[in-house]
Chain A
Amino acid sequence: MRETCDLVVIGAGPGGLAAASVAAEAGLKVLVLDAQPEPGGQVWRGEARKGSNRLARRWLHRFAASGARFRPGARVIAAPERGVLLVEEGASSFAVRYSRAVLATGARERFLPFPGWTLPGVMGVSGLQVLVKDGFPIEGKRVVLAGTGPLLLAAAATIHSHGGDVLFIADQASAANHWSFALQLWRHPSKLLQGAALTAKLVTVPTSTEAWVLAAEGSDRVESVRLSVRGREEHLRCDYLGAAYGLVPNLELPRLLGCAVSDGAVVVNERLETRVPGVHAVGELLGIGGVDQALVTGELAGLVAAEQPVPPALERSLQGIRTFAAHLARHDTPRDELRRLATPDTLLCRCEDVPLSALEGCTNLREARLYARVGMGACQGRTCGAAAQTLFGWSGEDVRPPCLPARIGSLRLSPDVSSSTPTRES
């Protein structure tokens, strides 16, 4: 099976939705693919059903009316030749032939290993948040959150509004002024986080900067957590622990397509073009900047793809957002202590059960892969890659197809797709 389109958008978060809507409104035949069952990406998870967030509602409506086509549950796994993507959907697969592409694959959390981090009940901060949005039963449960910056508050607010009991919020950031930076965001509806009422709701939750998880404890699941809070050790009993340190862009697909990556973000020009002709990148791929950055860059890329003029106001707001993103990056950089929490028997690679001790003598990711099987399991280094980068400074390797684990059958390219002359069909 195959699809043909003028513009393919990978990722239906705010970045992808904005790009797709604008381009489809301008008359392009647009196809949007996303691994999730609904549009919305991470921040607007479930909004297609709930409609509780105004901004999300507006964009989801605009997207639905734009004429762009959406295929949920569709995971891009390979790019067998220029202008063709292979997509796995459930137990089958299809190819997409496109003229232009907007990459909007967003970001994931940075997980760092500490003793007990593989216990069930230990999750990402935003990971726990999105699981709760999808119905994870949190009512009456005791939750500890540890991480960095404004996403801690976003997660706490979601958990709180679903009846969870947030016992403590630990922010690793070093100074109180960083925390106030995070709090300020809540007063700027146009910034990363919306809803000024949230901090008011959360004032009863003890929070601390210079605080982080030392270990999670329990037999078959997390039962308690040991924290370092401003130099003192604290012990809290809890049902769930959210622990993650900021976000890192999902670079597998841009890398697979040959886009340049620098400082952990996709390199683009002012028209958001990557070095691969016809391929744009938007949203978190450009460096963590939140919803606003995703919307503005998405709109811009959509206009450029559709060869429409870009209003100067859009370019100006992009500049402001980039400054904000730079602040956020400084705030979210994990402190040194976090690199030293794992003990020799703490697993680094969760898929292949590789403890830290197995990495002795390895000097880069390639050696760790060859000698210790780091990153060779199901997630293909998605979790341990960022951890190894933070712990040892090892940078990512080239991505080889498939960029997600896929069934063998999905990798076959049917002959009607692999002709070099683009054939149009509708």
Chain B
Amino acid sequence: MREASSKKAPVTLRINGHAVTVPAGTSVAAALAMTGRFISRADLSGRPRGPMCGMGVCFECRATIDGVAETLTCLVPCRDDLEVVTDG
């Protein structure tokens, strides 16, 4: 059993080219929100969208993670050097 990760070191990922440092255990969706602009994608007419269900159901939180398009940011924990690109 793993123990409390609050004791674990923070991790640094990149969101749209900017380095962001977050506590261990943070989801990528949460990290997007920490940047102050938690928009993951744009809809078909270019209006911004952000996460809604928080659990992998609505697909509104999708972004490109490490080159894989349409990854659900609410299901991915932040790791060092993760590369996140939003389209919104």
Contacts and interface: CB of A to CB of B under 8 A. Distances in A.
A189 interface: no
Contacts of B43: 118, 350, 353
A366 to B, nearest CB: 22
Contacts of B25: 46, 49, 134-135
A48 interface: yes
A131 B57 contact: no
Interface string B21-44: 011011101110110001100011
B54 A127 contact: yes
B58 interface: yes
Nearest to A117: B52
Interface of B: 1-6, 22-23, 25-27, 29-31, 33-34, 38-39, 43-45, 47-60, 62, 68, 70, 74-77
A285 to B, nearest CB: 15
B75 A49 contact: no
A123 B50 CA distance: 9
A131 B27 contact: yes
Interface in A243-267: 250
A111 B25 CA distance: 27
5 contacts: A73-B75, A118-B47, A129-B54, A377-B59, A378-B62
B15 to A, nearest CB: 14
B70 A378 contact: yes
Contact of B77 (A35, A37, A131, A352): A37
Contact of B58 (A49, A61, A136, A379): A379
A273 interface: no
Contacts of B74: 131, 134
B48 A120 contact: yes
Contacts of B70: 378, 405
Interface in A343-357: 350-353
Interface string A31-60: 000011100001000101111000000001
B79 to A, nearest CB: 10
B44 A131 contact: no
Given A120-B50, A127-B52, A135 B23 contact: yes
A185 to B, nearest CB: 22
A221 B38 CA distance: 10
A108 B3 CA distance: 28
A379 B51 contact: no
B27 A134 contact: yes
B32 to A, nearest CB: 9
B31 A130 contact: no
Given A49-B2, A129-B54, A351 B59 contact: yes
A382 interface: yes
Contact of A353 (B1, B27, B45): B45
Nearest to B66: A91
Contact of B55 (A42, A122, A377): A42
B1 A124 contact: no
Nearest to A127: B54
Interface in A365-403: 377-379, 382-383
Interface string A104-131: 0000110100000010111110111111
A37 B54 CA distance: 13
Interface in A59-83: 60-61, 64, 73, 75
Given A37-B76, A50-B4, A135 B55 contact: no
